[in-house]
Amino acid sequence: MSLDSSAPLQDASRRSASLRLRLGLAMPVVVGAMVGWFEWRDGGFEPLLPGLTHAVELVAALSVALMLLVEALLLRPLRQLASGCEAMESAPAPQAADMPEPRLGAELDRIGHAMHRAQGSLWQHDHEARELRRQLAEQRDLLERAHAALEANQRELASLARIDALTGLTNQRAFDESLRREFKRAQRQRGLLALAVLDLDEFKQFNERHGTAVGDATLQRVAALLNERFKRDTDIVARLGGEEFVALLPGCGMAEAQGVLELVREDLRALHLPDGRGDLTLSIGLAALSPAHPYLSAQALMQAADEALYIAKHAGRDRLSLAA
Ligand SMILES: Nc1nc2c(ncn2[C@@H]2O[C@H](COP(=O)(O)OP(=O)(O)OP(=O)(O)O)[C@@H](O)[C@H]2O)c(=O)[nH]1
The model's pLDDT over 216-244, given as tens digits with 9 standing for 90+, comes to 999 999 999 999 999 999 999 999 999 99
What is the C-alpha separation between 266 and 277, in angstroms, rounded? 17
Residue 11 confidence (pLDDT): 63
Which ligand 1 atom is nearest residue 166's CA? 31
Q: Is 50 exceeded by the pLDDT of residue 254?
A: yes
Using the atom order of ligand 1, give the atom closest to the CA of residue 216.
1
Residue type, 31: V
Q: C-alpha dihedral over 208, 209, 213, 215, to 10 degrees?
A: -80
Instruction: Report how far ligand 1's centroid is from the alpha carbon of 243 (Å).
Output: 5
Taking a C-beta distance cutoff of 8 angstroms, is the pair 193, 248 a contact? yes
Check: CB of residue 36 under 8 Å from CB of residue 48.
Answer: yes
Task: Kindly report, residue by residue over 129-141, the tens digit of the pLDDT.
Answer: 999 999 999 999 9
Lining residues, ligand 1, CB within 6 Å = 166, 199-204, 207, 212, 215-216, 219, 242-243, 313, 317
Q: How far is the CA of 122 from the centre of ligand 1 (A)?
A: 76
pLDDT for 21 beyond 80: no
Ligand 1 centre to CA of 239 (Å) is: 13
Judged by average pLDDT, the poorest of 3-17, 29-43, 94-108 is 3-17
**In the predicted structure, residue 48 carries a pLDDT above the cut 50:** yes
Q: Which atom of ligand 1 is nearest to the CA of 206?
A: 19
Q: 146-182, pLDDT tens digit by residue?
A: 999 998 888 788 777 899 999 999 999 999 999 999 9
Calculate the average pLDDT of the chain: 86
CA-proximal residue: ligand 1, atom 12 (nearest) = 204
**Across-strand partners of 238?**
170, 246
How high is the pLDDT of residue 33?
Answer: 78
| pLDDT > 90? residue 4 | no
Confidence tier at 212 by pLDDT (50, 70, 90):
very high
Please choose from 207, 281, 311, 318 the residue to mutate so as to test ligand 1's pocket, defined by most ligand atoms within 8 A of CB.
Answer: 207
pLDDT tens, position by position, 293-316:
999 999 999 999 999 999 999 999
pLDDT, residue 94, reads 56
- In this structure, of 77-91, 153-167, 263-277, the range with the lowest mean pLDDT score is 77-91
Ligand 1 probe mutation, 197, 203, 313, most atoms within 8 A of CB: 203
204 CA distance to ligand 1 centroid (A)? Answer: 5
% of the chain with per-residue pLDDT over 90: 58
In this prediction, residue 160 carries a pLDDT of 79
Lowest mean pLDDT among 16-20, 31-35, 198-202, 297-301: 16-20
The three-state secondary structure class of 283 is strand
ipTM: 0.97
Q: How far is the CA of 20 from the centre of ligand 1 (A)?
A: 145
Identify which of 303, 314, 152 has the alpha carbon closest to the alpha carbon of residue 323.
303
Is it the case that residue 110 has pLDDT exceeding 50?
A: yes
Average pLDDT estimate for 76-83: 73
- Give the pLDDT band (50/70/90) at residue 252: very high
* Of 110-119, 129-138, 200-209, 292-301, minimum mean pLDDT range: 110-119
Question: What pTM did the predictor assign?
Answer: 0.60
- 3-class SS letters over 120-165: HHHHHHHHHHHHHHHHHHHHHHHHHHHHHHHHHHHHHHHHHCCECC
Range with top average pLDDT, 18-27, 116-125, 230-239 = 230-239
**Strand (E) or helix (H) holding 302:** helix 298-314
What is residue 112's DSSP assignment? H
